[in-house]
Amino acid sequence: MDESHDLPPRQVFLFGFFFEISLVIVAAGIGYLTRGVAFPFRFSLDLEGLCWGLLATAPLLLLAVLLTAPLGRRFGPFRRIYEKVKAVLGAALCEMSALDRILLAGAAGIGEEVLFRGVLQTVIGTQGLWLSSVLFGALHALTYTYAIFATLLGLYLGWIFERTGNLLAPVLVHAIYDAVALWLLRKRFLEDRSTAGG
């Protein structure tokens, strides 16, 4: 049974959206308390950051396709991630509009990257990349495998941030990846529903 039936899809979207955006406020507080400035990072809408954001998303999109494909879901750890996401978000995700999914992905990209890469990675210092990535993974511990995947994703996004010096790039990677992953998951959940109903 889907746990997401407990809340209407609109409420699931609104909770997720405002939770992700509220991370910007948390990040601003940490930044101000530790560095005396709310946002101790560079966010610039420039061509280099845009290109990095778009190109660095490609390997993650291939991974998302693989993990949600029938072949990928046959592998036990990936199947458990899929089933857990389906149990928690399946019903709501199937009812969300494309705009809601894009807004949710954008909010996650902005909120999580401002907090984990822009502020935590910046203020922690020399071990910032590793510590913020491990924390990122721990807070995404839907399953053990997903926690490891999220930690590796955090390292990748953190490396992109360090390489470009611009938070725009990891924000774009995160938001685009989440939007595509939500689209793929919704597609698979609807296919599952159709197969079960047929």
pLDDT at 3 over 50: no
Q: Confidence band (pLDDT; 50, 70, 90) for 198? A: low
- Give kind and range of the element (H or E) at residue 4: none
Q: What is the maximum alpha-carbon separation in the chain?
A: 60
Half-sphere exposure of 16 (CA within 13 A, CB side): 25
pLDDT, one tens digit per residue, over 105-150 is 999 999 999 999 999 999 998 899 999 999 999 999 999 999 999 9
Residue matched to tokens 């809408």: 45
Q: Which domain holds residue 119?
A: 3-197
Is pLDDT of 19 > 90?
A: yes
pLDDT at 4 exceeding the cut of 60: no
pTM score, whole prediction? 0.93
Q: How many domains, the chain?
A: 1
pLDDT band at 82 (very low <50, low <70, confident <90, very high): very high
Report the pLDDT value the prediction gives residue 9, as an integer from 0 to 100.
83
- Average per-residue pLDDT for the chain: 93
User: CA-CA distance, 28 to 167, in Å (whole number)?
Assistant: 15
Count Cα atoms within 13 angstroms, Cβ side, for 142.
17
